[in-house]
Every structure is written in C-alpha cells, then in structure tokens.
Structure 1
Amino acid sequence: MAELSDAAKLRMPGKDVLQPGPKRDLVAELYVHYRLAARPPLPKIAALTGTESNPHKVSRETIRRLLTGTTTSQWAVVDALLLALCQLQDRDPDGRRWPEPDDSRWDENDPTTCREHLRRLWNDDIDGLEPDEAPASPPAAPAPVPPARQASGGWGGTPSPPADNPWTAGGASQSTPQTGGYSDEPPF
C-alpha cells in the first residue's frame, strides 16, 4: 500500500513551488522519463539502481528529492535515475531523444540523446544558467602564459634573483623548477 501512496503523491511541482528556470527544466525532463515509465513506485526505481547494468545505488528519498526539485545531486546519481527510468520504458538512454518522426517534438537536425540532453540541463542547473545563456560548446582552453612572465612573478619584478640571495647563490637559478617544495638544506 505504501508503494501506491508514493506514486499517487508524486507530481511535477507547480510553478509556485518550483520557479521557471534551469532547475525546473531539469525536473521537467526527469518527469518526461518518469511519465513514460508509467509513474513507477519509488522503491521499484530504487531497486533498479545499483544493479549490474546500473551500478550506482540511489535511495528512494534521493529519487523523490530529484523529482520534486529539492536537490540537484551529482551527475552519477541523476544518470542512475535516468538509466532506471529508461530500463522501465525499455528505452536506450543513449538513443535519440525523440526517435519517432511523427512525434511533434521531432527535429531532424537534433540528434541529441536522452542522456546528453539531461546532462546539459543538469550542468545548466549547477551553473544557474538559463538555456539561452548556456555555452553551445566547451570553452576554449586558456592561452599559456609566456615563460618570461612566469619568471618575473607577474608583478614587475626582475626575472633573475639578486646576487646576495642565499637560496640561489649556489648556482641554482629561479628558472629551474622546484620539484619538492622547500629544501631542508641550509643555504650556506
């Protein structure tokens, strides 16, 4: 009887409870899969997590909190929930999100998978980004800092140490990288 009450009480939060934005978008996507899986009881979903095909065990309380938008959790947890819901609907999470051309949501130019779309929404929620603010691709790696600037310390200091510096007077130069932090050897 407890299983029935869990399923009967779990509904998509209203806009007065979960404001429009990245978290609501994430929860709405989870609800797409929850509904397609026929709103299974939380213990049934939890039982499917932690199995051989879905190695990350998720508690029914965490599942409830994800579906109500009261937590975001780690990606491994969200992914485990998706895998369990996809297993209940006999669907591949790495398959195309809207596989049927007769579906009103079908977009021939959008090959996004269920997992890719959910991960993008999860990242947007973590970053607090609205969908139109989210980066389309990963940002470019920062340009490397030229070695001359690194040697100067970045504050306009001289690139070489003063001649009376006891830590470098023995022939070591500042451009030689330190490998283990501070030396226990005295400078003299």
Structure 2
Amino acid sequence: MPRMLRMPGKDVLPPGPKRELVAELYVHCREAGRPPLPQIAALTGTMPNPYEVSRETIRRLLTGTTTSQWVVVDALLRALCQMRNWDPDGRRWPEPDDRYDDDDPTTCREYLRRLWNNDIDGLEPDEAPVAPPAAPAQTASGWGTPSTAVNQAQQAPGGWGGSASSPQVEDPWATGPLPNAPAQPAAYSDEPPF
C-alpha cells in the first residue's frame, strides 16, 4: 500500500505564502478522502478539459517543494473537487440550505488562485492586493448614461436655459427653465428635485 502524504510540519514548511497554498490544497485532498497520487494523476488526464499532471508533480505541490504553473494547480484542484463531487467554481464555504448570508462569496478556484499568486509574489495573505469589483456593464440608457437631450442642452451656450453671457449652472438643486424655454436667470430652491 502506498504511503499517504501528510501536511508538512512547520519545521519543514515554515509559515508563509507557500504553506497557505499547500494547506488549501490539503483541505481539498482531505475532503476527497486522501486519494493515492496515481489515482489523482490518472483523473487529471481523463476529466473534462483534461490537463495531465504527473504524480511526482502532485507530490511536490502537496509537499511544498515546488510552485507550478496555474494550469497545473488548477488541474489538481479540479481533480480533487471531482473526487469529492464538488464544484471548484462553487462557494468555498457554502451556507446550509443554500442560504448565502456570509459576506465572502469567494469560490474555491478564486481563493486558491489568490494563494498561488501570493506564493509566487512572496506576499502574506493580508498584504496581497485584492482585485477591485467589476464595474457594472454600461447600457445604452439608464442611470449614468446621459441622454441626447441632456448632452445638447449642456453643450448649448450658457447651459440649461442660460445665455452665452450667463454662467452655466451646475447646482443639482437649482430649479430653472427647461432647455427650450426662453433664457431667464436660474432660481434656487431649498427643496430637493424629487
């Protein structure tokens, strides 16, 4: 019977980014039932979107003696997740009854990739930069997208209802004439426009 791999001790793999990466891989390895390396290696070549990884490379990743390319680490993660019937793109810590009250929507793959990047850069988890959230897609209409009438009115001399000699009013609380109304000085009100 092949010898099972164990998480390296702190004397062999000191605390730091590499240990964090190896520890996360071991979480998935334990959940998969500590499968033998040949079984994991065989699965990496037969699963959907295969990327064959040798058992020696898997052993070196799990002992922290190497940092491989992301495609190799990802193949190992996918194989371990498949063995435990888990989606690598699912939430890392799912809530019971599919309730997602937790503030951390990070997936297993995202978290492992962050640890992998930290290991390569030599950063501790609290030092690592976090990617900003993606900006919402801009639509042809809606909030934040000026309409054609607004653009034309703002580009007209004097701005909204002003004349070429009057300054453009940029006060959002200002109440004044409509863009097509005759030019008059803008009146101000303390009442909000809604």
Give 1:120's aligned residue: 114
What does residue range 89-100 of structure 1 map to in structure 2 within 5 Å?
89-100=84-95
TM-superposed deviation, 1:50: 1.6
Q: Work out whether 1:18 is the aligned partner of 2:13.
A: yes
Q: Work out whether 1:63 is the aligned partner of 2:83.
A: no
- Aligned match for 1:5, one of 2, 6, 12: 2
Aligned length in residues: 130
Q: Work out whether 1:130 is the aligned partner of 2:119.
A: no
Q: Which has the higher contact order (CA 8 A, sep 6+)?
A: 1
State the superposition RMSD in angstroms: 1.6
Runs of 4+ residues over 6 Å off in structure 1: none
* TM-score computed with the length of structure 2 as normaliser: 0.64
What does residue range 152-167 of structure 1 map to in structure 2 within 5 Å?
none
Among all aligned residue pairs of Structure 1 and Structure 2, give the percentage whose two residues are the same amino acid.
79
- Aligned match for 2:33, one of 24, 34, 38: 38
Distance 1:97 1:19, change over 3 A: same
* TM-score computed with the length of structure 1 as normaliser: 0.66
CA deviation string 1:114-155 (max 9, x = no partner): 0000000000000000011100126xxxxxxxxxxxxxxxxx
Measure, in 2, the Cα distance between the counterparts of 1:101 and 1:131. 27
Give 1:49's aligned residue: 44
Q: Which runs of 5+ in 2 are unaligned?
A: 133-194
Q: Work out whether 1:108 is the aligned partner of 2:78.
A: no
Q: Which runs of 5+ in 1 are unaligned?
A: 139-188
Which one has the largest radius of gyration? 2
Amino acid at match of 1:14: G
CA deviation string 1:78-101 (max 9, x = no partner): 000000000000000000001134
Distance 1:107 1:119, change over 3 A: farther
Give 1:82's aligned residue: 77
